[in-house]
Structure 1
Amino acid sequence: MGQFVKRLIRSPSWATWGSFSARALPLVVLPGFIFSEFSDNYAALWFILITIQGLQLLLESNVGLTFIRAIGFAVGGAHHVRRQGGSSELGEQKAVPNRVLLASICSAMRSAYLCVALLSLVILGSAAVFSSEAIIAELESPMAGVVPIILFVLSAAFRTYGGLHISFLYGTGHIAALRWWECFFWVLSFIFAMLAVQQGSSLTIIAICYQVPLLVNLMVNSYLSRQYGLFDLYDSAGKNGGRSVLIDLWPSIWRSALGVMLYLGMIQGAGLLYARIGEPQDVAIYLFAMSLMRPMMQFAQVPFFTKLPQLAAMHVSGKKRELISIASRGMQLSHILLALLIILFGLMLPVISDSSEHVTAVPQPLWALIGLASILERYGAMHLQLYSQTNHIIWHWANGGAAVIFSLCVYFLLPLLGSLALPLSIVIASVLFYVPFCRLRSREAFAIGLSFDARTALVPIGCVVAYNFFSFVS
């Protein structure tokens, strides 16, 4: 029993699942109480705040992937962070971490994350103002809506900068410690926010209770990074040690960030646009459904996502067969988990809604379509991540093409279908461009055929398609 507990505590996968489960608590449980305690306008405003938080996590995590991959290269013994062709620089000798390169990467992260934090402050602040302006104007006291938005946006900027510690801990293999502490503080955030709601507090007090534990978590991550040598690496890098690495990584950073904002950011942004033009109750239901799906997608991607530093090290070491084997297993488990979560939660929604006044009723067709859009996006995204192990970043092309199709679909379908138009547009953009583009590039880089997809994705995606069929015809 003691050995099992030790393995559990040291497991990156279990720690990440614990963290993502804890993150889901404020998104799954808290909204029902928000609906019961506040008017539709306040409920819609809360989901705007949660969507802003989702955008921040999206921006920070995807920029972080560039540095996690670069740290993986350094740990694998690479001599640079430019595009890796997959032929080993090391021959048959055992990979030895390149500490000089690692120090330069960590030095570059400090400058990069400061810029990204300032950029997120501008982007998220603008998005918050744009989406909430009409709702705040209808409140009896506009400041009751303005203050929580300011708190969420400022906290988002601090947490974006704190992403540098997450990238360091993740890339150097200290995932379990990072994620278990995250789990603790997200649970604390949920408890504090729930107590504030139960006490009948204002949205401002709830926002403070929600954000304070998450900001304390940043301090703990900084302490962990110091303990694991980050600040020693800063010193050894020298004043200008990270400049050349930042120049080498800059194409990956801007392409990743642009790609995220073009498509995934646009998907989130479309929800904020809908918040501006839709009825508050419909807006709240749609944003609630999307806020449920986000932690499910994060939870399901654990088997693949936690292997990314290992895949980067394998690629630079020329271990192609092992890389494909680990990637295949991770993708398969991720698809199965997401399909199960989508279907099981969809089947439970009517039962839970009928049995509790604190749970918002999400229409089955809307949930099913959001689920199909999510699993198709994850399928394409995992192939894009697999190709990105070459450090040739094409996210701006993949996401840019999908964003154009998505925008056109939303423009024509939103007046006709309402909230259903948003996930349907994601499905169309994924099928017509995003999925085939990402799949083609990973096939070219790693010579993986259709048997790879039959093994990793065919059954889970097929089950979600069947679930959609029954949801719309029943």
Structure 2
Amino acid sequence: MASNVMKRAWNSPTIMTWMSYSTKALSLFIVLPLILKNFSVGEISLWYLFSSIITLTSLADLGFKATFSRIIAFAIGGAQDVGIYKAGGVTKINEPNWNLIEKISSNMNVIYFFLSILLLFLFAIFGSWALLKPISLVENKQEAWIAWGVIIFTSIIRFYGTIYQNYLEGLNKIALIRRIESFMSLGAILTTISVLLLGGSILQLVIALQIWVVLNVIRNWYLARIVEEGRYKAFKKQSFDKVLFLKIWKPAWRAGLSGLMSNGLTHISGILYAQIGSVEMVAAYLLALKLITQIKEISMAPFYSKIPLLSRLRVEGKLELLKEKAQKGMFVGHIVFVLGVISVSLFSKQLLAMINSNITFVSNDFWLLLSAAFFVHRYGAMHMQLYLTTNHVISHIADGISGIIFCAVGFLLVDSFGIYAIPIGMLVGYLGFYAWYAAYHSLNSLSVGFLTFEKKGVLIPLVILIICSLLKF
């Protein structure tokens, strides 16, 4: 009995994703205090700027990552083409369509090769420009620039290596990926701790972490070649299929624009603020952004780990089961997020004082606004991902309009409210359009009412967040 439970947990995408994110979260409790204690304010600010720029590499993906994973999942479910599945799915489900997957893989390799060249250009020009002022504020400027060079090199490797992750996720090998990823994350954390305890510099810390980035790519390359009886390594290289590309490009560019106008704007705000804000305020904001992003990623596990399965259920026309699994994933994800932001609000300042940190945390009001904005965005994002299982991409509309609102409100309020204009702009944009627009399309695609669905999805976590907000946590 116990062995069966362990086996189910070992092969559960959600539990393994949580295990992976939990190991990464250890860096918040072990690595983060060491960084805040050992590095100067300028170095801390630079470190989190590195992190923000690395996060922005997903923008160069132009939306292809989620698109490729989704259409591979469709092909595994028996789809004969890359299409849109809004209602009944396909009428007859055959065995996985490996011929289509092989075509998709060939196109994916070509696309990511050229995207990697684009990313190299963006890093070399715009990334380096964004770091001119922050690097000028640290003592060892030469080491900082070398560290940036290491990040560029390894980020290009990681970016191209996304092709293996897309393939594995499309095959719903989430549990396998996250299981191994957990142990590699532990290795990266132990390496990082060793470097910091020995008094290592930013350059040494960057090198220690980027070695594991490359190892992760090698891991995915190896896994892709052994799963499903090694079908991937038997794939024949095919010529670039322009017709297939156009079918892939239509949902991809929309997802790419969506990423730019949502997560992209959030991290770009930190980079731009670093050009005008004081080093102390920049460091405090980037720390808050790092923490809320980490909480967001952990809370994503219960829902996002199910996306390949949800895509397959959609193409098979099993909408009731799709709705049930989506509700459960959303509920747990919202609860985890709320508990995470409350914990940070209660204990962050005490922990920073305990470790004699060189920086302070943002005010509680600012953290409350930022948490509310991210909560609303998480709500809309999960509904958007649920609707995207139809392969009808509308996220560019949702994120585009909400992003414009965010920028407009932020610009108008920045003189009066300073850095508070950032979370206020986010909240207005997400509430004003993104959240309700995503939910409307998602629920319509399942032919279910708002209250019927949300009483098992967001209601309880929302009530908890509102009460805690009124009590100022």
The TM-score with structure 2 as length reference comes to: 0.93
**Contact kept? 2:254, 2:395, Cα under 8 Å:** yes
Establish whether residue 96 from structure 1 lines up as the match of residue 85 from structure 2: no
Establish whether residue 332 from structure 1 lines up as the match of residue 331 from structure 2: yes
Q: Give the corresponding residue for 2:424.
A: 424
Q: Distance in 1 between matches of 2:271 and 2:227?
A: 40
Letter paired with 1:405? I
CA drift at 1:154: 2.4
The 1:424/1:462 distance shift into structure 2, 3 A limit, reads: farther
Q: Give the corresponding residue for 2:175.
A: 176
| Runs of 5+ unmatched residues, structure 1 | none
- Within-5 A mapping of 1:117-156: 117-156=116-155
- Within-5 A mapping of 1:34-433: 34-57=35-58, 63-91=64-92, 95-228=94-227, 232-233=231-232, 235-240=234-239, 243-358=242-357, 361-362=360-361, 363-433=363-433
**Contact kept? 2:379, 2:435, Cα under 8 Å:** yes
The 1:358/1:138 distance shift into structure 2, 3 A limit, reads: closer
1:265-295 per-position Cα deviation (integer Å, ceiling 9, x unaligned): 0111011111111111111111111111112
Q: Give the corresponding residue for 1:462.
A: 463
Q: Distance in 1 between matches of 2:174 and 2:248?
A: 23
Q: Distance in 2 between matches of 1:346 and 1:30?
A: 19
Q: Distance in 2 between matches of 1:61 and 1:215?
A: 22
The 1:293/1:27 distance shift into structure 2, 3 A limit, reads: same
Q: Give the corresponding residue for 2:32.
A: 31
CA drift at 1:126: 4.3
Letter paired with 1:52? I
Q: Distance in 1 between matches of 2:230 and 2:158?
A: 19
The 1:269/1:27 distance shift into structure 2, 3 A limit, reads: farther
Q: CA RMSD in A?
A: 2.3
| Secondary structure of residue in 1 paired with 2:471 | helix
CA drift at 1:58: 6.6
Q: Distance in 1 between matches of 2:283 and 2:27?
A: 15
CA drift at 1:315: 1.3
Letter paired with 1:218? V
The 1:408/1:305 distance shift into structure 2, 3 A limit, reads: same
**Contact kept? 1:31, 1:288, Cα under 8 Å:** no
The 1:220/1:10 distance shift into structure 2, 3 A limit, reads: same
**Contact kept? 1:66, 1:253, Cα under 8 Å:** yes
Q: Give the corresponding residue for 1:447.
A: 447
How many residues are aligned here? 470
Q: Distance in 1 between matches of 2:70 and 2:417?
A: 41
The 1:146/1:357 distance shift into structure 2, 3 A limit, reads: same
Q: Distance in 1 between matches of 2:415 and 2:31?
A: 31
**Contact kept? 2:280, 2:359, Cα under 8 Å:** no
CA drift at 1:109: 1.7
The 1:235/1:265 distance shift into structure 2, 3 A limit, reads: same
Letter paired with 1:20? Y
Q: Give the corresponding residue for 2:5.
A: 4
Q: Distance in 1 between matches of 2:5 and 2:63?
A: 33
The 1:116/1:60 distance shift into structure 2, 3 A limit, reads: same
CA drift at 1:31: 3.0
Letter paired with 2:122? I
Q: Distance in 2 between matches of 1:22 and 1:59?
A: 27
The 1:206/1:248 distance shift into structure 2, 3 A limit, reads: same
Letter paired with 1:252? P
Q: Distance in 2 between matches of 1:57 and 1:408?
A: 24
1:10-46 per-position Cα deviation (integer Å, ceiling 9, x unaligned): 2211111111122233355323322322221111101
The farther-off stretch of 419-428 and 82-91 is 82-91
The 1:458/1:59 distance shift into structure 2, 3 A limit, reads: farther
Letter paired with 1:81? V
Q: Distance in 1 between matches of 2:125 and 2:178?
A: 30
Q: Distance in 2 between matches of 1:243 and 1:181?
A: 36
Q: Distance in 2 between matches of 1:162 and 1:359?
A: 37
The farther-off stretch of 406-415 and 123-132 is 123-132
The farther-off stretch of 182-191 and 263-272 is 182-191
Q: Distance in 1 between matches of 2:376 and 2:265?
A: 16
Q: Distance in 2 between matches of 1:109 and 1:368?
A: 41
Q: Distance in 1 between matches of 2:267 and 2:243?
A: 34
| Secondary structure of residue in 1 paired with 2:78 | coil
Letter paired with 2:9? L
CA drift at 1:79: 0.7
Letter paired with 2:463? G
**Contact kept? 2:62, 2:255, Cα under 8 Å:** no
Aligned-pair identity in percent equals: 27
| Secondary structure of residue in 1 paired with 2:456 | helix
Q: Distance in 2 between matches of 1:283 and 1:237?
A: 50
The 1:186/1:243 distance shift into structure 2, 3 A limit, reads: farther
The TM-score with structure 1 as length reference comes to: 0.92
The 1:124/1:416 distance shift into structure 2, 3 A limit, reads: farther
1:193-244 per-position Cα deviation (integer Å, ceiling 9, x unaligned): 2221222222111110111012111111101111125974465454227554
The 1:170/1:241 distance shift into structure 2, 3 A limit, reads: same
Q: Distance in 1 between matches of 2:5 and 2:440?
A: 41
